[in-house]
Amino acid sequence: MEERFNGKYDYPYVFLNEEEFGADFKQQTSASTKSHTMYGLISNEHWSLPSWLGQEDFDAARARMKQAGVLYADKASYHFMCRFYSGFFHQHPLLQEFDYYWRMEPDVHYYCDLDYDPFVFMEERGIHYGFVITVLELPKTIPSLWNTTRGFMDKYAASLPKQNLMDFVTSGDDYNLCHFWSNFEIGSFSFLRSKEYQAYFDYLDKANGFFMERWGDAPVHSLAAAMFLNKSQVHHFQDIGYRHNSFTHCPARLRNNCACDAMKSVDFHTPSFGVCHKRWSAVAGLPHDL
């Protein structure tokens, strides 16, 4: 991040954790950048079970999901993380001064130089959400998310804009599982703090799917963007090359000193990933030249 982008633009880094950061972590991260670094504690209210859900029910659900092979479902912290990113991180006191965010996670590697400011780019064009990779969600993680979302849409039909992106996430009347992979995302806080988004999260939260199932923040953000935004308000940053775990996006055309091989990009070589990129290109009216 420093070498490819922020060394030139000097934006602050905000680190959030459910436990206090140690002195060594603060020293090492602050020494790695000339930018301002801030360290925040996530409140217990935002990293725990909601008051209406019991621990025994959660433990039983995790055991059931582990037996069924649901990825990460046995890890309580993963459930807390998904709920936090879905409904609470934009409420953190350290983030209130900011209008946009660039989400960073461990084990994310950036491959290309970025010589323009994506925050200014988004603000000037009225863009509220930016992504690099779009993939299919694992069906076992979200068995009731779509029906719950449809219940929300029925209840709040009057508040849903007619110009939206539902064609990207649906095939017929069903969710097609396409979502924006949220270990990279750049977004506007005004979108996440809007009354429409908050109403959607509250509706989902009461359904208990973050704990009784393993709903992720990525499909939640994606379904919200599909409901509340239009194609001019979501942008595919094709020129940002990055890797997380085994998945890589490497630009084929919009390349700027990229240290990666475009022919190894998931967009081209894995049908279950490429289908969502092609669908986005079709919905957004863009050529499929990643």
Residues catalogued as catalytic: 185
160: closest CA among 251, 205, 106, 223?
Answer: 223
For the chain, the C-alpha Rg in angstroms (whole number) is: 19
- Name the helix (H) or strand (E) containing 77: helix 76-87
- Asked whether the beta carbons of 258 and 251 are under 8 A apart, the reply is yes
Terminal Cα-to-Cα distance of the chain (whole angstroms): 21
Instruction: Taking each helix axis as running N to C, give the angle between helix 217-228 and helix 145-155, from 0 to 180 degrees, rounded to the nearest 10.
Output: 30
How far apart are alpha carbons 43 and 123 in whole angstroms?
30
DSSP string, 92-145: -GGGTT-SEEEE--TTEEE-S---S-HHHHHHHHT--EEES-EEEPPGGG-TTH
In the block, which residue shows the tokens 């068995």? Answer: 143
Q: What does the DSSP 8-state code read for residue 38?
A: E
> Is there a contact between 198 and 267 (Cβ–Cβ < 8 Å)?
no
Burial 101-137 (b: 16+ CB within 10 A, else e): bbeeeeeeebbbbbeeebbeebeeeebbbbbbbbbeb
Provide the 8-state DSSP code for 158.
Answer: G
- What does the alpha-carbon distance between residue 123 and residue 163 come to, in Å, rounded to a whole number? 20
